[in-house]
Amino acid sequence: MVLYLIGLGLFNEQDITLRGLEALRRCSRVYLEAYTSILLCNKDKLEKLYGKEVIIADREMVESRAEEILEGADSGDVAFCVVGDPFGATTHTDLQLRARERGLTVRVVHNASVMNAVGACGLSLYRFGEAVSIVFFTDSWRPDSFYDKILANRKMGLHTLCLLDIKVKEPDLAALARGRTVYEPPRYMSIKTAIEQLLEVEAARGGGAYGPDSLAVGIARLQADDQQIVAGTLAQLLEVDFGLPLHSLVLAGEVHVTEQEMLQHYRAGRGPGAVTEPVPGLGSSENTGQAAAAGAGAGR
């Protein structure tokens, strides 16, 4: 009857909207897409709230066996749940197109995603350029296509949201070559790893898109109770312990005075493991320190 694409928000089972929850409870099957992002709660909590079994849809199922999700959707409603907003990844657009080709009705229930919630860091959403993805480097694969996009944003004075790689249920290639399917443990890129890779690419490309002294904002566990936001230079953020995933990074462009005032509340030097040097572009160290003291606890 209906394929529902339902956004779950960013943190835990409680972030689903009332509209999304009502739709989900009408469905005969409920899938959870579990490879482009993760909720910071386990499946059991979702099932308890929904009153439904939750079927984990990994990359293989969504990209290669999507027909399994759509099978039977012409006789009973099916929910495809996505962390954040349903259209945060192009894969979900593809699923919608497949459903429409089969003559199925598709309804979308939107929710918050990192693409809009990133405004919590104090930088205006209107001043963001194209977002980029940074993937884990390997010995033989070190993609740097993000660099030109960051450089273009920088030339226009725009901020850049860097989405950091996650690896969930990735096959072990060595085992696969021997005819065995073995999956590697999940990996989630940290802000530290992202910065190290960014600086490596800048050293190789030399276009001046950013450098160790560039202003940036590190964001960990956005929307969670222990959310952490720290503003500083890339060099300073390398020294910050951002803790558990998920992490994101924003490279600042031209910073408006109002944005500057907000970033002062998140300057490096607040919290365990943070550095204490002043942050270029955020006003004098005296004023910044006063703002940090006034905003103690903000962003957590």
Please report, in range form, the residues annotated as the binding site for S-adenosyl-L-methionine: 10, 85, 88, 113-114, 164, 222, 247
- The angle formed by the CA atoms of residues 23, 109 and 38, to the nearest 5 degrees, is 100
Binding residues: 10, 85, 88, 113-114, 164, 222, 247
Distance CA 137, CA 199 (A): 13
Residue 53, CB half-sphere, CA atoms under 13 Å: how many? 4
Single out the residue of 157, 152, 149 nearest to residue 127, CA to CA: 157
Q: Coil, strand or helix: which one is 181?
A: coil
E strands in 12-156? 29-33, 54-57, 78-82, 105-109, 132-134
Distance CA 104, CA 98 (A): 9
Cβ atoms of 202 and 235 closer than 8 Å: no
DSSP assignment letter at 207: S
Distance CA 253, CA 264 (A): 16
